[in-house]
A and B are shown apart, each in its own frame.
Chain A
Amino acid sequence: MTATMTPYRSGQQAGHDGFAQVLWAEWTKFRTMRGWVVAMLAAAIATALAPIALASIATSNDPMTCVHGTCQVESSNVATGPDGEAVTDSFYFVHQPLAGNGSLTASISSLHGTGPLAYLPGGVPKHHLPGLPQPATQPWAKAGILIKAGTRPGSPYAAIMLTAGHGVRMQYDFTHDIAGPPAVPSATAPRWLRLARSGDTVTGYFSADGRHWGTVATVHLTGLPTTAQAGLFVASPDYLFETQGFGGGDQGVDNPTQATAVFRQVSKRGDWPAGASAGAWTGGQAGFAQRSPDKISRTCNGVACGSLAQQPGHFRQSGGTFTVAGSGDIAPFVQVVDPLQVTFYGTLFGAIAVIALGAVFITGEYRRGMIRTTLAASPRRGRVLAAKAIVIGLVTFAAGLAGAAIAFPIAVRKLHDLSWKPPVWPVWSLTSQVGVRMVLGTAALLAVTALLALAAGTILRRSAGAITAVIGLVIVPLVLAVVLPTAPADWLLRYTPAAAFSLQTSTQRYPQVTTGCIPYHGCYPLAPWTGFAVMCAWAVLALAVAAVLLRRRDA
């Protein structure tokens, strides 16, 4: 008689072996570890509170906007543009009223700058500003034809111009810049410009010979009155040079410059004044009549280092030929100090909590031996790492989003109360482009930092080593960037994951304005999302190495 042995079979149904189950398992692990949940809450709270605390003590703004030793401008020199933005509006303008439609044509046979009007006035040792390049002509020195609602600072305008280093440009209402053909004026081959107004529409034309014309751009201006001021203009922006020395601190100069242009064959067509007053051109500094005050006080290395006298612009007419000299600029104003960005350094406290959390999310399993159970339950190791990455990424994103969304509006209001006011420092709302970028950016930054920490934890398997490594990659470059000289600091903020902190800048930069950009002032060399991409590349690489090692090694 033979007995049949029936192997034991559990009455329970076999569970599904899908990715969803692994994901659910990782979420359950996270949710039930008190220390991890506490770390997540700590990250959210630090992200919310630290920026608010920093904003409420940001008192170093004075009326001269001198912060950290940089007296950028006297506040009276900043006007409010048509869209409420801060603008520089002070240039030399030879104009007369245009009562209706019409056009102005001129050829430019020369545009020369006279460089910085003065260099290092008394009291500044020359070695404070070593290797200072002194271009005779500013690349953004401009000469051309301009139509403006009036000479009131910040009023709407449109202009076609020749620049010293950037070819023909059509610019309007300060922030808009349209590139035309590359061209440089010379006495033998003058370049021709024409600006035509028809109602609210202004069109800029360019010609290399005065016969064949091409349209550079047609723009629509709002708020241009029937009688506008039109004429010839010359501007030459301040010469800016900024650098940071070893040991922190900034050095720089901000010198007024001047440019001179020769306009020939100036011809009017349309509703220009007729009769006795015809042809009477008025010359003067438009916008701010005088770049106030007439002496600009300057700061070098945090200490006052003399003042520069303004050299007034002028023009000379002989028949149809005009020689116009002017300084200043008509362009958006870019502030050096970014109080919101400094305030958001507070999120570093959240970042450090997130680093710890991301690392222990895997090293905790190694320490307790839990990893063997995890891998026995889900032998496909890549999946385990992917599930962990998704869970920790989402959790830290949520913590960062909540924290930053609370911090942003409160910090903005506190800064405003401490006289960081428009137009130089706009009050961004949470739904503005800057608000959305800073809040979403902070959350994304924290999430990707957590992923880096998770990868480091998988690679090193020890929490202390992983946390140190990730802090070394993400936070230490920020410390070094303010201590080292400009070149290596710039390198660090381009190639380390710290590049992603450019997401937290609120300053709008424009290609048509040359500004000093040094890490000491929280200026990042890469654009916000480009910097974030650098960090993502690091995270992807680290996760790939982690996945390979997790599969190869015994747990």
Chain B
Amino acid sequence: MRHALHAEWTKLRTAPGTALLLAASVLLTVGASALTAAIVKCPGSCTADTTKLSLTGVMLGQATVATLAVLAMSSEYGTGMIRVTLAAMPRRPTLLAAKAAVVTGAVLVAGAVAVGASLLAGRLLEPGNGFTARHGFVALSLAHGPTLRAAAGSVLYLALIALLSLGVATALRDSAVAITVVLGLLYILPVLGTAILSPQWQHHIERWAPANAGLAVQATRNLGTLPIGPWAGLAVLTAWTAAALLAGGLLLRLRDA
């Protein structure tokens, strides 16, 4: 396993896109979060959840995280490298585990940086926009339990999105098809979740779609009115991820490369 990890780490480290995509994830997350924090004002949105507000960028940053994770697997199929990899490491579950570990590690680090910087931006910008003690807001701080949960949960969310993407890519092998499926899941379902003219289906999407459920972990106010609780939502995303990895792992084991 150690050799597999080392090999996967070397591949990930030396692939040209990795650094770029990780940097893009951090920039998109922090940029979009800071921009949102800068334009949402009280009065205007005094009911806003300031923690969730300052983590808006995660919704954008997840796209590049997904791309990174998809490429970690599918680019091997694209270049034929997968045959060399499997010749060197014939135990396929180990290979998938090693890939999952290094991708998760990289995303956890980038995610922690992105989420930390987003919260910091929120802490600096939001009081200037009227989210002050006078309106019942305190400055964002990780010492505040729900905010800590939202921050840690957002980092975990990004890691789970990466693993989900890796699983889908392992099952589908082609990078274009895999990224299309993953981004479709992450972006089209939320559009339908807000627009769909059926309260029942709206409820279903909010509870069971991976992005909707997973991002429930960012909520810190009115938890009672959420369609799904913060940790339960993350658990739903974990189930999606587990299913994708399982399907990917099985297909990797059963199929010729």
Contact = CB atoms under 8 A, between A and B. Distances in A.
A and B form one complex: yes
Interface of A: 35, 54, 57-61, 67, 127-128, 130-131, 245-248, 337, 339, 342-343, 345-346, 348-349, 352-353, 355-356, 359-360, 363, 367, 462-465, 467-468, 471-472, 475-476, 478-480, 482-485, 487-488, 520, 522
Interface of B: 17, 35-36, 39-40, 42-49, 52-53, 56, 59-60, 63-64, 66-67, 70-71, 74, 78, 135, 174-180, 183-184, 187-188, 190-192, 194-201
> Which interface residue of B46, B63, B71, B197 has the most chain A CB atoms within 10 A?
B197
Nearest to A357: B176
A472 B60 contact: yes
Main secondary structure of the interface of A (DSSP, over half): helix
B60 A247 contact: no
Contacts, number: 139
Contacts of A131: 43-44
9 contacts: A59-B200, A339-B197, A345-B192, A352-B188, A356-B180, A465-B67, A471-B63, A472-B60, A475-B191
B63 A478 contact: no
Contact of A356 (B44, B56, B176, B188): B176
A479 B191 contact: yes
Contact of B176 (A58, A348, A363, A483): A363
B47 A345 contact: no
A59 B67 contact: no
Contact of A349 (B52, B67, B188): B188
A127 B176 contact: no
Given A130-B46, A245-B47, A480-B59, A54 B196 contact: yes
Contacts of B52: 247
B196 A468 contact: no
B114 to A, nearest CB: 16
B67 A468 contact: yes
Contacts of B198: 57-60
Contacts of A339: 197
Contacts of A462: 17, 175
A496 B53 CA distance: 22
Nearest to A457: B176
A532 B230 CA distance: 39
B53 to A, nearest CB: 6
A247 B47 CA distance: 10
B103 to A, nearest CB: 14
B192 A245 contact: no
Contacts of B175: 462-464
Contacts of B78: 367
Contacts of B53: 246-247
Contacts of B188: 348-349, 352, 475
